[in-house]
Amino acid sequence: MGQVITVAQQKGGSGKTTLAVNLAVELCRRGRTVAVLDTDPQGSLGRWFMTRLDRLGDPGLDFSTASAWGVTYECAKLRKLVDFVIVDTPPKVDADLRPALREADLILVPVASSHVDLWATEGVLDLARRERRRASVVLNRTKNGTRLGAEVAGAAAEMDADLLAATLGNRIVFAETLGQGLGAPEAPRPGAARDEVAALTREVLAILEA
């Protein structure tokens, strides 16, 4: 039976789709079967998948969409078909988000390097606690060596949630590859981005396999 990873954050622009895409691509590169499930009406994940389909012919993973209340049905179906289901959610925290959190074996909450993003995390973490689901904060678009980055990392570490050691940097390759229907590890010169995505994936797998 497959496992569900839900990516959630109430603030837009936090990098949910980027996180979902790169985790999905890296899991596929490791020989795991993956489905991505887009529950965000903006449809960014769906556009990425269709771009990937046009570019590669064989996207290497499955894709589905669902309304907020269709998540339970879709996850039950996809769990039987793949090793991992990665759910991208709308940027909001309300009752509509709860089914996606309830289905999750792990909730990933991306936080960009700003205190505003960090504050927005509290609502997701509160809902995760109510659903008794494990949530882990992922620092995204980090800027090493900056005081703001250090402050956000320090504040995140003090929250009542796991803070993953792996981070994703503020790198152009993440945006470029997303628009090309790829993940950063598939770029011609992925550089540090490939290492960051690999480290994140290893950490996520360690949590789920523990």
All structural domains of the chain with their residue ranges = 3-209
Q: Which of 147, 154, 141 is nearest to 17 (CA)?
A: 141
Structure tokens at 10: 């109430």
Supply the mean pLDDT for the chain: 90
The pTM assigned to this predicted structure is 0.92
Buried b (16+ CB within 10 A) or exposed e, 92-118: bbeeebbbbbbbbbbbbbbbbbbeebb
Does the pLDDT value for residue 82 go beyond 70? Answer: yes
Q: Where are the beta strands (DSSP E) in 90-200?
A: 106-112, 135-142, 162-163, 168-169
Q: Which helix (H) or strand (E) holds 168?
A: strand 168-169
Region 97-115 average pLDDT: 89
Structure tokens at 14: 């936090």
Point out the least confidently predicted range of 104-108, 120-124, 203-207: 120-124
Region 205-209 average pLDDT: 96
Q: Of residues 92 and 79, which shows the higher confidence score?
A: 79
* Site of tokens 């060596």: 145
Does the pLDDT value for residue 205 go beyond 70? Answer: yes
What does the pLDDT look like over 27-49, one tens digit per residue? Answer: 999 999 999 999 999 999 999 99
152 band by pLDDT with thresholds 50, 70 and 90: low
Task: Provide the pLDDT for residue 50.
Answer: 97
Contact 6, 104 (CB under 8 A): yes
Contact 44, 88 (CB under 8 A): yes
Q: From CA 107, how far away is CA 8, in angstroms rounded? A: 7
9-18, 107-116, 124-133, 145-154: which has the highest mean pLDDT? 124-133
- What values do phi and psi take at 10, rounded to 5? -75, -15
Q: From CA 172, how far away is CA 127, in angstroms rounded? A: 32
Task: Provide the pLDDT for residue 64.
Answer: 97
Q: Which CATH number fits domain 3-209: 3.90.1150.10, 1.20.1290.10, 3.40.1710.10, 3.40.50.300?
A: 3.40.50.300
Region 162-183 average pLDDT: 93
